[in-house]
């Protein structure tokens, strides 16, 4: 609907240029939007104000010319007015909205989808936790945002690959192996023989026990049987990594998050990709030697100082394999790559992009894209739940899922802009009342289903569009609902384009709110069969949209609650 109006405005503008009622020129950037204020029409455009300057005429005069040239007989416009400083307000015929309801029926589970991606390949890397412990709250937010982004991108026509990257070989993993080995040998954390900076969590004991018992563990991307030999550090490492990867997989599965591809940092080295990338940067003259180290001139690409690539001891700094990894992503054909990470990794953004430019491989500026989420604070009983990884006791993702449920956890994690810090109120998330936004949204869906069940007992079923007297839908609540239903596809498109899942939770809360308001004010099942049918049809459209919306968040739409 919005697009149709944009098109009408464009046609009017070209007519004005053609008959010289406006001085011919460019088509300026302009918007057609839903006004925030009731009484300003169904849609409004600022086009006249953006043209006023170049036309050297007042915005209202420009608007006059445009309105005079609006195409006639489209059957959707009721009236048009010029208001305020020069807005053009469009009032649509009620019948124009009926198209929306027809569309929802036709598209069903696909309503809300669009095709901006045109089937092009996008990769989303998220979570990417190293296998040194259970997933914590921060990973949970990343998992929820990343997975939702994948669903949104898929819904807007992208061919999405979900990828998980981790390190199974570095210093932290060696530390993990030593910690498990110590537990195997019965060494306690307060023992002088305990490894420096060893992992003290209870889960380390579990891994050690399983290793000694000769268990076999199977993760999504690897399977290992314990060698039971406490001297074989390599075997302990392999087993520990597999064990913790399996733990993470179980948590992610409980969260309904899955990956298509797992990538290992160690493979970047063993395959020679790291060396190849370094060699190429050297050949392209973006590096220099100084103080026994190899430096990348990242200042050529917007960094505030150059960065060391290869240390005096011959090993690479952390961003080098990251550059090699992203070159690999590029060579795999992803025209877009999105990295979802905690904001504490933001320093890598400039370096990885600089490294890719230094490779001169045709990678566009600003590739890859990043979504960095801020910290999560967990509140219970009005107090902050302290997270202490060192002590080995902290709120894990699994704890949260077990306590408040998958749906509520996911909803809360994506409810805020990734950019802003998030307060996770456990008490609110658990509440079975309408104060809880998840409950509020899901209950709207369940309530509609309940009404359908009630209607069925009285012999009513929701009709097909062609049999529904949709013209009978004329109360303010009904019209507001239809208008909001019509805005769902563009809301999804915006959320996907700007990587902002919270637009979906906001939309769903608003839609649920309008529905509950409608419900409280109007009876659905009445003696008036035609009106009852029309309302049942409307509610079927609301239910479809709610279900599609929560589906994009990976959340269920219960039939009853």
Instruction: Considering only residues 202 through 241, tell me which ones interact with RNA, judged by CB under 7 A.
Output: none
Instruction: Considering only residues 415 through 474, tell me which ones interact with RNA, judged by CB under 7 A.
Output: 416-417, 419-423, 433-435, 437, 443, 446-447, 449-451, 454
Residue 19 vs 318, nearer CB to RNA = 318
Cα atoms found within 13 Å of the Cα of residue 453, Cβ hemisphere only: 8
Residue 107 vs 350, nearer CB to RNA = 350
Residue 80 binds RNA, judged by CB under 7 A? no
* Contact in structure between 512 and 444 (CB atoms under 8 Å): yes
Residue 198 binds RNA, judged by CB under 7 A? no
Distance of closest approach, residue 186 Cβ to RNA, in angstroms: 29
User: With the C-alpha atoms ordered 168, 170, 172, 175, is the resulting torsion angle positive or negative?
Assistant: positive
Distance of closest approach, residue 166 Cβ to RNA, in angstroms: 9
∠ CA 262-263-267, nearest 5°, is: 140
Residue 7 vs 360, nearer CB to RNA = 7
Residue 190 vs 435, nearer CB to RNA = 435
Distance of closest approach, residue 367 Cβ to RNA, in angstroms: 16
Q: How far is CA 462 from the centre of its chain?
A: 33
Residue 15 binds RNA, judged by CB under 7 A? no
Residue 258 vs 389, nearer CB to RNA = 389
| Strand boundaries in 265-322, DSSP class E | 287-290, 293-296, 307-310
In SS3 terms, 114-128 reads as: CCCCCCCEEEEECCC
Contact residue for RNA among 228, 280, 336, 516 (CB under 7 A): 516
Residue 520 binds RNA, judged by CB under 7 A? yes
* Contact in structure between 236 and 173 (CB atoms under 8 Å): no
Residue 52 vs 180, nearer CB to RNA = 52
Contact residue for RNA among 10, 258, 284, 345 (CB under 7 A): 345
Residue 154 vs 512, nearer CB to RNA = 512
Contact residue for RNA among 73, 75, 171, 388 (CB under 7 A): 171
Distance of closest approach, residue 226 Cβ to RNA, in angstroms: 26
- How far are the Cα atoms of 22, 117, 412 from residue 131, in angstroms, in the given order? 65, 33, 25
Contact residue for RNA among 331, 344, 360, 528 (CB under 7 A): 344
Distance of closest approach, residue 213 Cβ to RNA, in angstroms: 30
> How would you class 43 by CB atoms within 10 Å of its CB: exposed for 0-12, middle for 13-18, buried for 19 or more?
buried
Q: Which two tokens stand for residue 355?
A: 């490294």
Contact residue for RNA among 1, 12, 87, 484 (CB under 7 A): 87
Instruction: Considering only residues 532 through 551, tell me which ones interact with RNA, judged by CB under 7 A.
Output: none
**What is the size of the binding site for RNA (CB under 7 A)?**
82
Upstream peptide bond of 47 is cis (omega within 30 degrees of 0): no
Residue 183 vs 326, nearer CB to RNA = 326
Q: Which two tokens stand for residue 340?
A: 């979802």
187 dihedral zone (left: phi>0; alpha: psi -120 to 50; beta)? beta
Provide CB contacts within 8 A for 501, sequence distance 6+.
Answer: 144, 145, 148, 149, 152, 414, 418, 495, 553
Buried-state track 100-113, b at ≥16 Cβ within 10 A, e below 16: bbebbbeeeeebbb
- How far are the Cα atoms of 122, 162, 334 from residue 159, in angstroms, in the given order? 6, 10, 10
Instruction: Considering only residues 28 through 57, tell me which ones interact with RNA, judged by CB under 7 A.
Output: 31, 33-37, 39-41, 44, 46, 49-50, 52-53
Stretch of 77-85, 119-127, 196-204, 467-475 contacting RNA, by CB under 7 A: 77-85
Provide CB contacts within 8 A for 555, sequence distance 6+.
Answer: 406, 407, 410, 411, 438, 442
Site map 246..285 versus RNA, x via CB under 7 A: -------------------x--------------------
Distance of closest approach, residue 302 Cβ to RNA, in angstroms: 10
Distance of closest approach, residue 95 Cβ to RNA, in angstroms: 22
Residue 102 vs 172, nearer CB to RNA = 172
Site map 123..162 versus RNA, x via CB under 7 A: -------x--------------------------------
Helices (H), 40-93: 47-55, 59-68
Greatest alpha-carbon span in the chain: 91
Give the C-alpha separation, 100 to 468, whole Å: 14
Residue 57 vs 205, nearer CB to RNA = 57
User: Measured in Å, how far apart are the chain's first and last C-alpha atoms?
Assistant: 35
Q: DSSP for 436-449, please give it.
A: SHHHHHHHHHHHHH
Stretch of 141-149, 227-235, 242-250, 306-314 contacting RNA, by CB under 7 A: 306-314
Site map 475..514 versus RNA, x via CB under 7 A: -------------------x-----x-xx--x--x---x-
Residue 517 binds RNA, judged by CB under 7 A? yes
Q: Which residue, among 461, 447, 466, has the nearest Cα to 514 in the 3D structure?
A: 447
> How would you class 53 by CB atoms within 10 Å of its CB: exposed for 0-12, middle for 13-18, buried for 19 or more?
exposed
Residue 346 vs 386, nearer CB to RNA = 346
Q: Which two tokens stand for residue 374?
A: 């801020």
Residue 38 vs 202, nearer CB to RNA = 38
Give the C-alpha separation, 424 to 415, whole Å: 10
Contact residue for RNA among 26, 118, 202, 291 (CB under 7 A): 291
Residue 154 vs 536, nearer CB to RNA = 536
Placement of tokens 């259970």 in the chain = 134
Give the C-alpha separation, 210 to 238, whole Å: 13
Site map 348..387 versus RNA, x via CB under 7 A: x-------------------------xx------------
Contact residue for RNA among 282, 293, 387, 479 (CB under 7 A): 293
Contact residue for RNA among 284, 386, 390, 523 (CB under 7 A): 523
Q: Is 216 helix (H, G, I), strand (E, B) or coil?
A: strand
């Amino acid at each position: 609907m919005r697009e149709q109006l944009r098109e009408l405005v464009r046609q009017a503008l070209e007519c004005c240029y053609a008959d010289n009622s406006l001085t011919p020129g460019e088509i300026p950037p302009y918007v057609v939007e839903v006004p925030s204020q009731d009484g300003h029409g169904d849609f409004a455009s600022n086009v006249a104000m953006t043209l006023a300057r170049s036309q050297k005429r007042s915005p209202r005069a420009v608007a006059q010319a445009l309105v005079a040239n609006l195409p006639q007989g489209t059957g959707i416009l009721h009236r048009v007015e010029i208001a305020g400083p020069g807005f053009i307000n469009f009032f649509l015929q009620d019948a124009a909205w009926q198209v929306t309801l027809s569309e929802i029926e036709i598209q069903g589970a696909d309503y809300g989808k669009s095709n901006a991606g045109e089937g092009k390949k996008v990769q989303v890397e998220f979570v990417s936790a190293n296998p040194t412990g259970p997933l914590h709250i921060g990973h949970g937010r990343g998992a929820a945002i990343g997975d939702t982004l994948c669903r949104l991108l898929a819904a807007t026509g992208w061919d999405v690959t979900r990828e998980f990257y981790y390190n199974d070989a570095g210093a932290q993993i060696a530390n993990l192996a030593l910690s498990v080995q110590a537990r195997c040998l019965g060494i306690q954390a307060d023992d002088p023989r305990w490894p420096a900076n060893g992992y003290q969590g209870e889960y380390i004991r579990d891994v050690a026990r399983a290793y000694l018992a000769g268990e076999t563990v199977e993760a999504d991307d690897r399977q290992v049987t314990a060698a039971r030999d406490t001297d074989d550090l390599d075997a302990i490492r392999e087993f520990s990594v597999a064990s913790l990867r399996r733990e993470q997989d179980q948590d992610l599965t409980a969260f309904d998050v899955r990956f298509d591809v797992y990538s290992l940092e160690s493979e970047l080295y063993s395959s020679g990709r790291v060396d190849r990338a370094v060699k190429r940067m050297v050949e392209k003259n973006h590096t220099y030697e100084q103080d026994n180290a190899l430096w990348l001139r990242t200042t050529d690409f917007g960094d505030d100082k150059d960065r060391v690539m290869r240390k005096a001891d011959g090993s690479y700094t952390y961003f080098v394999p990251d550059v090699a990894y992203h070159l690999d992503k590029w060579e795999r054909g992803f025209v877009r790559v999105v990295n979802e990470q905690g904001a504490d990794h933001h320093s890598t953004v400039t370096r990885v992009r600089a490294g890719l430019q230094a490779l001169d491989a045709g990678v566009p500026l600003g590739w890859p894209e990043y979504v960095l989420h801020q910290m999560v604070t967990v509140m219970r009983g009005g107090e902050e739940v302290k997270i202490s990884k060192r002590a080995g006791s902290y709120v894990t993702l699994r704890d949260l899922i077990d306590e408040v449920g998958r749906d509520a956890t996911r909803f809360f994690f994506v409810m805020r802009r990734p950019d802003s810090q998030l307060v996770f109120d456990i008490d609110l998330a658990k509440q079975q009342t309408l104060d809880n936004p998840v409950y509020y949204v899901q209950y709207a869906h369940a309530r509609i289903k309940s009404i359908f069940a009630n209607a069925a007992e009285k012999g009513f079923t929701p009709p097909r569009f062609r049999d529904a007297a949709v013209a009978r839908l004329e109360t303010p609540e009904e019209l507001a609902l239809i208008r909001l239903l019509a805005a769902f596809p563009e809301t999804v498109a915006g959320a996907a384009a700007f990587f902002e899942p919270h637009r979906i939770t906001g939309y769903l809360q608003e839609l649920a709110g309008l529905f509950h308001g409608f419900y409280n004010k109007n009876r659905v099942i009445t003696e008036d069969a035609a009106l009852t049918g029309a309302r049942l049809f409307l509610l079927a459209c609301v239910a479809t949209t709610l279900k599609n919306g929560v589906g994009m968040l990976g959340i269920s739409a219960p039939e009853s609650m």
